[in-house]
Amino acid sequence: MLAQRDVDQLLGGRHADPFAVLGLHAEADMAEAGGRLWLRALLPGARSVDLLEAGSDKLVASLKLRLPDGLFEAPAGRRRKRFDYRLRVCWGDGSEGVYADAYAFGPQLPEQDLSLLARGEHPRPFEALGAHPLILGDVAGVRFAVWAPNASRVSVVGSFNGWDGRRHAMRRRHESGVWEIFVPHVAAGDLYKFELLDAGGQLLPLKADPFARAAQLRPDTASIVASALSAPKALPAERAAANARSAPISVYEVHAASWRRGAAQFPTWDELAEQLPAYAAEMGFTHLQLMPISEHPFDGSWGYQTLGLYAPSARFGPPEGFARFVAACHARGLGLLLDWVPAHFPADAHGLANFDGTQLYEYADPREGFHRDWNTLIYNFGRNEVRQFLVGNALYWTERWGVDGLRVDAVASMLYRDYSRPAGEWVPNSEGGRENFEAIALLRRMNEQLGQASPGAITMAEESTSFPGVSAPTSAGGLGFHYKWNMGWMNDTLKYMQEDPVHRRWHHDKMTFGLVYAFSENFVLPISHDEVVHGKGAMLNKMPGDAWQKFANLRAYYGFMWGHPGKKLLFMGQEFAQSSEWNHDAELPWALLEQPAHAGVQRLVRDLNTLYRAQPALHRLDCEAAGFEWLDAADAEHSVLAWLRKDEGSAPPVIVVSNLTPVPRHGYRLGVPAGYAIWTEALNTDSAHYGGSNMGNQAGQLRAEPVATQGQAQSIVLSLPPLACLFLVPA
């Protein structure tokens, strides 16, 4: 019989090695001589337990209840050799079942996986950790594994064991700090969490699985056993080509919960799949970008405070629905980008904070580990296992879900140790500086691993500082992102557009300064959700003037943006000039499209996307200085800007002219490149089709004259509409 000390530890849920005493074991004093086998089972709530031979269901022994708390044990008859067995259990409520025993199964994870996990070098930690449905022999169940190196005991609890931490205490694989167990008869859809005791034996709050691939809808917090991992998906060649620097990239940014709602609070993935990809494709966008869809506890964080990095949010239904949504995007020729948040996480008790009784995932020092701006915790970027967790997650989304790339949130907050911290309240790096070397190493490693394992997938950095080489290869000392959001361009040009046109002449440099550094990175021009929240108002209402001028200014600004070098990004609702600030608790005000002015802006954005994609000069050298040439950057007096977009091949150039005052300008002479005799309007943001005054040069062709101006040997004479942008192409 089992020693009383072991019995007390088992019943108290404090035994450090339950596999050493539960299941089939030889008598300790006769083990070398082939002594009798004993069977022990800890089944609180059971009334009786019989030991059966697997396959035949032959009764081998009836176990005796040693203590009322559910510890059963008995010799296994005359058996001297281990055998496959089952337990027939009669429960206190009168129900009965036959079960395989979790403690009949040996170690689950291979030594190679454990070694890689211990070093933080496992390229796909999600294959080893988390919950994985398996069939071992003829027994179906789930292998659970969790990293908790400082815990003294870890159990998996759930709907399958009455949430009793004594039932399925896990085996510790000491070399890696990983705990594991195979629990028979658990299946996809079952709820679970981990119950941990810290090093001092104190019970911690139940923890959700950091590697859970499905989770309950808030306010419930349990993890859900997901179906088996899908096979890796290679990005098709056409999708990889659509992500290239030379490709037209126009991104429609979407908050999935508030784009368009069905009968419920949240649309399902299938409802979104039916409508959203078709709309974005019809609008001419090349990519969809979803704000974070990983599981998160608070709706108002918009997903930027996630606690389930591996789980598509239950707000939109089961994970399988997300797979269908990805397929629907690709069927429409759209790339799908996901917002990804490796910078920080909330401190909810069921999450990563103080996971095993120590600061396992976060920095221990609050000067490094607490984010003042968002009241969140910062990942410990210097810990190998944490970097492994994050890098593996990036690969998980591209490789297992087939998404086309990740937009990485809050990169600036990761790069600098003094981000939003006053002097004396941050910890310098090893060289006494402010750069976070550990975060830099994480980002480089993430980009390198995606490049190797998911070729063609892209990453975009939301990075608001002048940190050098964000989109440069890591081999050249860069961070390895494919693109960087141009926050400086967005801030400067929006400030300019908010000025009354009579004052714009004094701020002309805000529209031209972006070209000083436009090709130092591979830039995306972002008009994102951040510009229409927290009292900033809608894009339309940032524009000065009366109602007509507001719409004209917005149309002109969109023309300026689509003509400017750089990939494009526009947040949902701004494509039809939403007039109210974005509200995450309501769907977009689609009824505005019944008003001609709003419908006109929508038509303009569609046509801008169409023109951008159709004209190689507008996209092929978006990130190259050779693709841009000023025709007139100095006409501050009239607030006119004109430039040439070029392609290195045989495609014709495109002239873009912006008149950013409400004054029409007739007879405006503009220098144009030699070799093209006639120019025509390809798009005019002042067209009546878009709600404008219909002034311009639509009626005829613009013939170049041998009159030198603005450094060009020939020129054309234009009519510049008020508050408008023109796109001219050779006839």
Task: State whether 124 and 84 are in the same domain.
Answer: no
Q: Is 648 a catalytic residue?
A: no
Among the options 271, 362, 404, 409, which is catalytic?
409
Would residue 94 be called left, alpha or beta, if left means φ above 0 and alpha means ψ between -120 and 50 degrees? left
Is position 581 within any domain? Answer: no
pLDDT score for 701 = 87
Q: Is residue 72 within 8 Å of 66, Cβ to Cβ?
A: yes
Among the options 462, 463, 531, 622, which is catalytic?
462
> What is the C-alpha separation between 475 and 465, in angstroms, rounded?
22
Residues 6+ apart with CB under 8 A from 553: 497, 543, 544, 545, 660, 723
Full domain range(s) for residue 126: 111-224
| pLDDT bucket at 399, cuts 50 / 70 / 90 | very high
H/E element, 323: helix 319-331
Single out the residue in 191, 224, 257 at which a domain terminates: 224
Task: State whether 279 and 213 are in the same domain.
Answer: no
Is position 665 within any domain? Answer: yes
Task: State whether 395 and 297 are in the same domain.
Answer: yes
Task: State whether 177 and 311 are in the same domain.
Answer: no
As a whole number, mean pLDDT of residues 275-292 equals 98
Task: State whether 94 and 158 are in the same domain.
Answer: no
Task: State whether 141 and 18 are in the same domain.
Answer: no
* CATH number for the domain that contains residue 140: 2.60.40.10
Task: State whether 523 and 619 are in the same domain.
Answer: yes
* CATH number for the domain that contains residue 731: 2.60.40.1180
Task: State whether 164 and 291 are in the same domain.
Answer: no
User: pLDDT (tens digit, 9 = 90+) per residue, 138-187?
Assistant: 999 999 999 999 999 999 999 999 999 999 999 999 788 999 999 999 99
Is position 296 within any domain? Answer: yes
Q: Is 462 a catalytic residue?
A: yes
Q: Is residue 131 within 8 Å of 188, Cβ to Cβ?
A: no
Task: State whether 278 and 403 are in the same domain.
Answer: yes
pLDDT score for 439 = 97
| pLDDT bucket at 81, cuts 50 / 70 / 90 | confident
Is position 69 within any domain? Answer: yes
Is position 586 within any domain? Answer: no
pLDDT > 90: what percent of the chain? 90
β partners of residue 41: 72
Task: Report helix, strand or coil for 564.
Answer: coil
pLDDT score for 3 = 85
User: pLDDT (tens digit, 9 = 90+) per residue, 598-626?
Assistant: 999 999 999 999 999 999 999 999 999 99
Q: What is the CA radius of gyration of the chain?
A: 31
Between 15 and 727, the more confident residue is 727
CA atoms lying within 13 Å on the CB side of residue 489: 30
> What is the C-alpha separation between 201 and 314, in angstroms, rounded?
34
Task: State whether 100 and 155 are in the same domain.
Answer: no
Task: State whether 11 and 152 are in the same domain.
Answer: no
Q: How many domains does the chain have?
A: 4
pTM above 0.85, yes or no: yes
Is position 495 within any domain? Answer: no
Task: State whether 115 and 98 are in the same domain.
Answer: no
* DSSP state letter for 568: E
| pLDDT bucket at 698, cuts 50 / 70 / 90 | confident
> What is the C-alpha separation between 421 and 571, in angstroms, rounded?
30
Is position 139 within any domain? Answer: yes
Q: 171 vs 152, 175, 185, 209, CA distance in Å?
A: 11, 12, 18, 16
Q: 603 vs 498, 607, 684, CA distance in Å?
A: 23, 6, 12
As a whole number, mean pLDDT of residues 99-117 equals 96
Tokens of 308: 């389930």
Answer whether residue 33 shows pLDDT above 60.
no
Which residue, among 535, 555, 662, has the nearest Cα to 598 in the 3D structure?
A: 555
> What is the C-alpha separation between 613 and 608, in angstroms, rounded?
9
